[in-house]
A and B are shown apart, each in its own frame.
Chain A
């Protein structure tokens, strides 16, 4: 019996081809060598297919952001948080806030920690209890974990939470003076420039905690709230959303902007959240055109180039603006 290549060595060769393809277009020689390799064994195309899919999956690591510190993720969630130098510095910075907050909380001992992202930045923050939060561009939050509850204040921007349950310490998100209680769940909270508040529940249960009674939100629900003076709830409307709409709304987690028939004016605003270089559309009719597609949030030029091609517009890239005209 002739000895057969092990499936493990097929996997190794496949991953090396995937890495080569990842590095850029193959040379004609490489393309020919790849073709020969693929034809040599019926397992190889499948192994390469899988390696390419994993490579595609790993591209979302971009969303971990420039502050990604692998050491934050090497411990089990149950382990006590270590005091790294970074954490200490962050704590020092949040000291004033922490003092102010502790007075209000009374007996429960806790310290508050602030996190923020700059424009165009994204950051994944493990919370020590197994929960995580992913901060989108220009977002600022405060975390205050005490013995009685785990509180996160969303001050500005967009944050995606993945919460692990802890019966002894409820997880509460405060936004615009309103409180949301979370069980084991995944949800997004957004508030841009002091405007209305949006909550999108992807899985699990969220409760809007109101004096008197609570409103429960299940998976695939969108809650829109308006608040006055950061304290008074003036309206709250919950509606079901289709899963595909939900994924579009959450495309930013992969560093993408998902458009589905929105106008170019809308798209230009969406991109403006991620970059100081704004897309200006001088022609009103052009601004009103609608577009569909998945675009890199940090690449307004690439987006504008596609727009120019699709709508036959002129593109001018200047240092501080991208101008689309017709």
Chain B
């Protein structure tokens, strides 16, 4: 499994995770099919976690969308009562979302500031534990001693920090209703307070 494979994790971080907001937006637009977006995303990642030849995937974004699409098909077929509308929608699934993104570098560019800002808005204790762990590099045991809490509480704080980070990294994109995929980059730029092109 992925637990001890940093290479695969790094590949996922660089090539898949940046596309999660677009994937969620794309799946979210298909509300009527009655699918659970979170379920699809998690299951798609499970498939990628055990994909043997992941390094050979030439278009990770397209591949991710393809996996998600086939999972949606499977979910809808498995449902007891099939919504006729959902089946019709399936046929019309556009592939615009799967096209290479123009703003692939959007996240990478502001990565460190994004991190700095996300840590800054964490709840107080979580923030303290997270900074001691990630910025100062202390062990969980040393953090527990310094904060006068148990090691398992430290672990809970770190876990919570990771969730908040994931939340912001992959969901915190305001997409106006009906907007197409190309607006993704613009939406993220708004959040990071970035750029007005000359």
Instruction: Tell whether, in the assembled complex, residue A70 and residue B162 are in contact, meaning their CB atoms are under 8 Å apart.
Output: no
Instruction: Tell whether, in the assembled complex, residue A167 and residue B198 are in contact, meaning their CB atoms are under 8 Å apart.
Output: yes
Interface Cβ pair total, 8 Å cutoff:
194
Instruction: Tell whether, in the assembled complex, residue B36 and residue A19 are in contact, meaning their CB atoms are under 8 Å apart.
Output: no
Say whether B86 faces chain A, with CB atoms less than 8 Å apart: no
Q: How many angstroms between the C-alpha atoms of A26 and B17 in the bound complex?
A: 26
Q: How many angstroms between the C-alpha atoms of A113 and B139 in the bound complex?
A: 35
Given A46-B48, A130-B193, decide whether A52 and B39 contact each other with a Cβ distance below 8 A: no
Select the stretch in B4-12, B25-33, B178-186 that faces chain A: B4-12
B166 neighbours in A (Cβ, 8 Å): 11, 15, 50-51, 54
Instruction: Tell whether, in the assembled complex, residue A46 and residue B44 are in contact, meaning their CB atoms are under 8 Å apart.
Output: yes
- Chain A residues touching B, range: 35 or more
Given A22-B158, A48-B2, A77-B193, decide whether A57 and B38 contact each other with a Cβ distance below 8 A: no
Say whether A265 faces chain B, with CB atoms less than 8 Å apart: no
A12 neighbours in B (Cβ, 8 Å): 159, 163
B148 neighbours in A (Cβ, 8 Å): none
A162 neighbours in B (Cβ, 8 Å): 109-110, 113
Partner among A23, A202, A203 whose Cβ is within 8 Å of the Cβ of B140: A23
Given A20-B155, A48-B3, decide whether A54 and B165 contact each other with a Cβ distance below 8 A: yes
Instruction: Tell whether, in the assembled complex, residue A68 and residue B131 are in contact, meaning their CB atoms are under 8 Å apart.
Output: yes
Given A57-B13, A66-B136, A74-B120, decide whether A165 and B195 contact each other with a Cβ distance below 8 A: yes
Partner among A50, A61, A74, A78 whose Cβ is within 8 Å of the Cβ of B121: A74
Given A15-B160, A46-B42, A164-B193, decide whether A23 and B155 contact each other with a Cβ distance below 8 A: yes
- Please encode chain A, from 121 to 135, with 1 for each CB lying within 8 Å of some chain B CB and 0 for all others: 000101000101010
Instruction: Tell whether, in the assembled complex, residue A184 and residue B197 are in contact, meaning their CB atoms are under 8 Å apart.
Output: yes
Say whether A49 faces chain B, with CB atoms less than 8 Å apart: yes
Give the residue among B44, B50, B109 with the most A Cβ atoms within 10 A: B109
B49 neighbours in A (Cβ, 8 Å): 45-46, 48-49
- Chain B residues touching A, range: 35 or more
Main secondary structure of the interface of A (DSSP, over half): helix
B56 neighbours in A (Cβ, 8 Å): none
Partner among A7, A10, A59, A184 whose Cβ is within 8 Å of the Cβ of B134: A59
Instruction: Tell whether, in the assembled complex, residue B113 and residue A132 are in contact, meaning their CB atoms are under 8 Å apart.
Output: yes
Say whether A259 faces chain B, with CB atoms less than 8 Å apart: no
Q: How many angstroms between the C-alpha atoms of A203 and B194 in the bound complex?
A: 13
Instruction: Tell whether, in the assembled complex, residue A183 and residue B198 are in contact, meaning their CB atoms are under 8 Å apart.
Output: yes
Q: How many angstroms between the C-alpha atoms of A58 and B116 in the bound complex?
A: 10
Say whether B92 faces chain A, with CB atoms less than 8 Å apart: no
Say whether A55 faces chain B, with CB atoms less than 8 Å apart: yes
Partner among B115, B135, B198 whose Cβ is within 8 Å of the Cβ of A57: B115
9 closest Cβ contacts across the A-B interface?
A46-B45, A46-B46, A7-B38, A43-B42, A70-B120, A184-B195, A61-B134, A73-B120, A19-B158
Can you list 29 contacts pairing A with B, beta carbon distance less than 8 Å? A7-B36, A8-B38, A12-B159, A15-B159, A19-B156, A19-B162, A21-B3, A42-B46, A44-B46, A46-B41, A51-B163, A51-B166, A52-B9, A53-B9, A56-B10, A57-B169, A58-B115, A58-B130, A58-B161, A64-B116, A68-B116, A70-B116, A70-B119, A72-B116, A73-B113, A130-B194, A183-B198, A184-B197, A203-B109
